[in-house]
A and B are shown apart, each in its own frame.
Chain A
Amino acid sequence: MIGDLAELFTLFARLSLAAFGGGAAIVPPMEREAVAHGWLTHREFVDIFALGQITPGPGMLIATVIGYRAAGPLGAIVAGVAMFLPPSLLTWIVTERWDRLRGSPFVAAVRAGMAPVAVGLLSTGAYAIGRTAIDGPATALIAVVVTLALLRFNVSPALLVLLSGAVGWLLFR
């Protein structure tokens, strides 16, 4: 039991700190590890990941389900803490230090320089999801309509996602 928990902690802490550019980067290794340990089958992983997309909160909450399957409620907590605590702590330290360095010319260059890199990273995220999510005219139309609704009419994103889910249910079931 303690062995399982320690293994869950080291696995997810290691994955969380390797997630550059967001959680999507570590989905494939997470799937490999979960299946290799016999915690989930490939099919179960895919289904739970899909379930994570239609529930609120971070997509990486799938770690808690893997932890639960491996070691019960305590496993869910340990896996969740390991997934979210190390990067959160790192972000907190950087945020806190960042404020003290404001005003230095180097930090001004870093601030200005990282913004377009982030735009490139976020665009890649949209592209990566789009390559699988936009699989025909219907899903392409949903994406275009939602983008316009968000940019032009200030519609709430939650409402847009719920409506898109409902349209998906009507069209694809």
Chain B
Amino acid sequence: MRVQHTAPPSSTLPARRSLGAVLRVFGWVGLSSLGQGRMAYFHTELVRKRGWVTNADFLEGASISSLLPGPNVTNLSVYFGQRLAGPAGALLGTLAVILPGAVLLLVLSSLYFRGLGTDASAAIGRGVGAAAVALIVGTTWRSGAAAVRTPRGAAVAALTFVLYAVAGLNVFLVLLITTPLSVWLHRTARQTDESG
């Protein structure tokens, strides 16, 4: 790869995969990703099961996906689709994530609008909601621990959390404050700094 001579291994791009292999994985994420915390499904498939992507690369994708506007999971599909299989991977991979759930939700909601009961779905939803919290915590911990192991990283993560979750500031304002501050604090960061 063309950047290899200027940057150590942590910043090389993930190796390209065939479009078919990417679509199978993304399609599975589209079919199986129940509940909130859907990043966990990508983490499981791309990092833990296949080793296509390192934890540091995953966090980079998760960072770009959550700092840009839009649903995190489709931003993440575009990011890794592009990385693993180019523009076709980004487009078709993202469709593979969206379409199964879209069809299922439209079918189930049409049943709902015909008055078929959702009492069970409320009870199931409570269990699923609790699991979602765990999926986000688990995935953030696995991919993000390296980034908050330094004092400056921990301080920025804590500040972001306090401004957003505790003080309740608008998320755009939070990003406007914390991102430039964090980039400035990390101005001496080497490419290897956050690998893990």
Contact = CB atoms under 8 A, between A and B. Distances in A.
Q: Do A and B come from one complex?
A: yes
Interface of A: 16-23, 25, 44, 47-48, 50-62, 64-65, 68-69, 76, 80, 83-84, 86-88, 90-92, 94-96, 98-99, 102-103, 108-130, 132-135, 139-140, 142-147, 150-151, 154, 156-158, 160-162, 164-169, 171-173
B21 interface: no
The 9 A-B pairs with the shortest beta carbon distances in the complex, nearest first, are A57-B101, A87-B70, A168-B127, A120-B160, A133-B129, A112-B189, A146-B134, A113-B183, A115-B147
B171 A20 contact: yes
A165 B193 contact: no
A68 B113 CA distance: 12
Given A51-B108, A55-B104, A68-B106, A116 B182 contact: yes
Contacts of A68: 106, 109-110
B183 A110 contact: yes
Contact of B120 (A95, A125, A127, A169): A169
Given A53-B128, A91-B65, A172-B127, A59 B179 contact: no
A120 B82 contact: no
Contacts, number: 394
Q: Among the interface residues B38, B159, B183, which one has the most CB atoms of the partner chain A within 10 A? A: B183
A127 B158 CA distance: 13
B140 interface: yes
B188 to A, nearest CB: 8
Contacts of B104: 55-57
Contact of B83 (A47, A95, A127, A147): A95
11 contacts: A16-B71, A18-B69, A23-B71, A61-B98, A65-B106, A90-B70, A94-B64, A113-B189, A129-B36, A158-B32, A173-B120
Contact of B186 (A112, A130, A161, A164): A112
A116 B62 CA distance: 11
Interface in B76-133: 77-79, 82-83, 87, 90, 94, 97-102, 104-106, 108-110, 112-113, 118-133
Contacts of A65: 105-106, 109
Binding site secondary structure of chain B: helix
Interface of B: 3, 6-7, 11, 13, 30-41, 44, 48, 59-60, 62-75, 77-79, 82-83, 87, 90, 94, 97-102, 104-106, 108-110, 112-113, 118-142, 144, 147-148, 152-161, 164-165, 171-172, 174-175, 178-179, 182-191, 193-194
Q: Among the interface residues B31, B130, B183, which one has the most CB atoms of the partner chain A within 10 A? A: B130
A147 B124 CA distance: 18
B105 A157 contact: no
Given A53-B129, A56-B33, A112-B189, A165 B124 contact: yes
